């Protein structure tokens, strides 16, 4: 009997995941079942494969969901993070392993004891970020500790960007992941990190003006802004005594300053709805956030409000998005400002069929060894193939697929709700990822510590 893998959710990040399972299906004796709310959208090359079955699956229909999980050997949930718990509960009941690429929720943590009692591996955060970031960081941190080095500093940044050949707008950015996550990034509390032994907090309205800069050889300069909570992994990584711990999101230089215009206007707000949003022009939307004037144009009011000169590149970036177009209209009813902004940006920032994305990850490790302070910089750059086989889907999907097969093959056996920080997980997966061009370049550099001069005021 073939071993049965159930993948729930077949969205943008699953192209490499599904390909991997089907390419391995004969030699590894696998049968793949894909459960999705919209099965017709699954490509024919996948759905027609002899070792694949397609299932119309609504996870809110309990009988459908439970039957599908009961008939599998392992479940891969590629659903939104908020929906994993429902799947995880069934996996406990029916004794099935579970793999997700999402952050572990507080709800999911409550299942740890039951998963251990049943010998079940609930592997989470095994995508890109979180995922490859954990594994690559722990590999180098463990190596430093094996030499009796003491960690002083750890910084990590990841960015989903557009490939250099297709970087053809003034924002140097296109959507390569869920656009909503980009629009609401940083909201919900101050960013927290440790800098030279001192706790630091950046409120949302200042987040995009406090950026750190760094260079990636062959790819130029980038900037990073702080993630909401850099302290989450202090204990998991064993960095309780580290002086600097900072995790962030990477963009091309200039993006954050420009994005801050939307933040200051209030366009990224997702807490209220606009009553008459449907049919509203882009120009009318912009005017919602500006003071009334019987004489001044929308353009003049906005420039005055944001203190932008007409020859400023910031102004050119706004013009490029057609924000002042009186003919383009919004099709969303009772939408929040963030939802409207997302729709406007999707007009300009969606990858064309022949365009490619790029993933960049950068780590900085500061440590002390034999009384000397040292530093290792490590970076990874992955370029996508096209709009379907993206670098994002590759770096998210392949680690998920590899972990799933390793659990089936009893190479990953430690039970419980976990993230991929153990050697039994990260060593074989990082090794296999090299075969797909996903690898880190490491550089020994002079120890710089946390560089305050690299942070914008």
pLDDT of 365 above 80: yes
User: Under 8 Å CB-to-CB from 16, ≥6 apart: which residues?
Assistant: 389, 393, 394, 397, 398, 401
What number does CATH give the domain 3-124?
3.40.50.720
Q: How far is CA 306 from CA 46, 193, 202, 265, in A?
A: 50, 29, 21, 8
Higher pLDDT, 366 or 43: 366
Q: How confident is the model at residue 452 (pLDDT cuts 50, 70, 90)?
A: very low
Confidence class of residue 370 from pLDDT cuts 50, 70 and 90?
very high
Task: Quote the CA–CA distance of 137 and 364 in Å, as a whole number.
Answer: 9
69 pLDDT more than 70: yes
Residue 340: predicted pLDDT = 97
So where are the chain's domains? 3-124, 273-335
In this predicted structure, what is the pLDDT of residue 456?
Answer: 41
Mean pLDDT of the chain: 93
Q: Quick one: angle between helices 423-433 and 132-146, nearest 10?
A: 110
């Amino acid at each position: 009997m073939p071993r049965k893998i159930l993948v729930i959710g077949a969205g943008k990040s699953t192209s490499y995941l599904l390909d991997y399972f089907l390419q391995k299906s004969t030699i590894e004796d696998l049968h793949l079942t894909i459960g999705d709310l919209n099965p017709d959208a699954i490509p024919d090359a996948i759905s027609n494969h002899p070792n694949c079955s397609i299932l119309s699956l609504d996870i809110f229909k309990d009988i459908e969901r439970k039957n599908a999980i009961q008939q599998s050997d392992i479940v891969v949930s590629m659903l939104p993070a908020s929906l994993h718990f429902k799947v995880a509960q069934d996996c406990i009941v029916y004794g099935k392993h579970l793999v997700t690429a999402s952050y572990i929720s507080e709800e999911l943590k409550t299942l740890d004891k039951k998963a251990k009692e049943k010998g079940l591996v609930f592997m989470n955060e095994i995508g890109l970020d979180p995922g490859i970031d954990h594994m690559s960081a722990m590999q180098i941190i463990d190596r430093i500790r094996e030499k009796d080095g003491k960690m002083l500093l750890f910084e990590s940044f990841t960015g989903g960007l557009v490939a250099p050949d297709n970087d053809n707008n003034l924002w140097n950015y296109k959507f390569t992941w869920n656009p909503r996550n980009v629009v609401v990034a940083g909201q919900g509390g101050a960013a927290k990190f440790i800098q030279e032994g001192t706790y630091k907090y950046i409120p949302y309205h200042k987040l995009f003006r406090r950026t750190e800069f760094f260079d990636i050889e062959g790819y130029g300069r980038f900037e990073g802004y702080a993630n909401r909570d850099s302290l989450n992994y202090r204990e998991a990584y064993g960095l309780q005594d580290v002086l600097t711990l900072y995790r962030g999101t990477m963009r091309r230089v200039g993006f954050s300053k420009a994005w801050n215009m939307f933040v200051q206007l209030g366009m990224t707000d997702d807490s209220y709805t606009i009553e008459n949003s449907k049919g509203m022009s882009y120009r009318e939307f912009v005017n919602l956030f500006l003071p009334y004037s019987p004489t001044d144009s929308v353009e003049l009011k906005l420039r005055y409000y944001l203190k932008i000169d007409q020859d400023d590149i910031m102004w050119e970036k706004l013009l490029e998005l057609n924000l002042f177009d009186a003919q383009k209209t919004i099709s969303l009813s009772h939408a929040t400002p963030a939802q409207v902004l997302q729709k406007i940006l999707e007009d300009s920032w969606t990858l064309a069929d022949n365009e490619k994305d790029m993933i960049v990850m950068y780590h900085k490790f500061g440590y002390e060894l034999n009384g000397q302070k040292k530093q290792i910089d490590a970076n990874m750059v992955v370029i996508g193939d096209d709009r379907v086989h993206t670098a994002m889907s590759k770096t998210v999907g392949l680690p998920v697929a590899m972990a799933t097969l390793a659990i089936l093959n009893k190479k990953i056996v430690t039970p419980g709700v976990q993230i991929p920080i153990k050697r039994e997980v990260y060593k074989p997966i990082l090794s296999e990822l090299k075969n797909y061009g996903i690898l880190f370049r490491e550089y020994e550099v002079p120890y710089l510590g946390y560089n305050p001069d690299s942070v914008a005021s």
